[in-house]
Amino acid sequence: MSIFDSFQKQDKAKEAKTDYANAPRLTDFHPYDTGLSQTVLELYAEFGKGNTPARRPCERNPFIALLAGVSALRKTPGIPGPDQFGSEYFTSLPRCASQEAEAECRAHLKKVFGITDRQSLLDFCNAEIRCHPQYLDFESFWEGRPPFDLTQLNPRALESFQAARDFSAQFYPIVGHRGYLAWDISECIGHLRAGYACGLLTREELDEMAEYWIIQAQMFDNWADFAVSLVCGELYWDFRHGSKLPELTAGLDLWTRLTRILLGDDTAWGSGLWYEPTPRTGQEI
């Protein structure tokens, strides 16, 4: 049995539990009925609609750190923890405190992610992390502007594409064009943060590579919008890696807890701090 067979489809948008009233006329739109979207909506209801502080200007460095807020909640070998930064932890870009700590962090990145230098970090993020480009393909089909002909796919590729598209459809009325962008931003910036901490990236390389994501982040109105996109992206990432509904539900519980920590902390996303760059083109990773 395919992992996709464990979900039921909603054959028509009007049958979905989510409110599609404001969505455009959709084509080939058959969301899986997983119940996951309801929890995501509850997260947004809790922190959206004025419950999250409006954007408050900050400098570029704190914003890069805030974009990697979820990564900052993880214990990464060799990278200093919150006890060494206090209230500035979520707005700081730490460096490993010693050569031994740098070696520990580098060994971790190599063992877990195969990251050993700038190029392997880029390759890992592009191949293993990014989900939003796939979401944009799905959105193009739903909105009647398909980017390619499905008949070009072999049967196995077609089944995989349609299953991923229909799983993602449940989140479309919630995230719209923002899709899974926050997941890509958060996880890629998190790896940049780790690479900089242990010296795999220079400060100049960090700034250059982060610029693209800083510009992309301007798609979001506030951190609540960012959190919802991030959680939906994480669910899709887990789904594409074979997780069934029990694992997806457990992942949703974990990631909503993580985002609630950040949204509820006035030294993290709850601060409303947001950097708006002068428009220019950054390097995509």
pLDDT in tens, 224-247: 999 999 999 999 999 999 999 999
Question: What average pLDDT does the chain have?
Answer: 89
- Confirm whether 267 is domain-assigned: yes
- Confirm whether 283 is domain-assigned: no
- Confirm whether 57 is domain-assigned: yes
Query: Helices marked H in the chain — which ranges?
Result: 36-47, 60-67, 69-73, 99-113, 118-124, 132-142, 155-169, 172-175, 181-197, 203-216, 223-240, 245-263
- Confirm whether 170 is domain-assigned: yes
- Confirm whether 23 is domain-assigned: no
Which residues form the domain of 174? 33-274
Count of domains forming the chain: 1
How far apart (Å, rounded) are the C-alpha atoms in residues 226 and 266?
16
- Using only C-alpha atoms, the chain has a radius of gyration, in whole angstroms, of 19
pLDDT in tens, 137-170: 999 999 999 999 999 999 999 999 999 999 999 9
- Confirm whether 252 is domain-assigned: yes
**pTM for the model:** 0.89
Look at 30-39, 81-90, 104-113, 230-239 and tell me which has the smallest mean pLDDT: 81-90
- Confirm whether 284 is domain-assigned: no
- Confirm whether 21 is domain-assigned: no
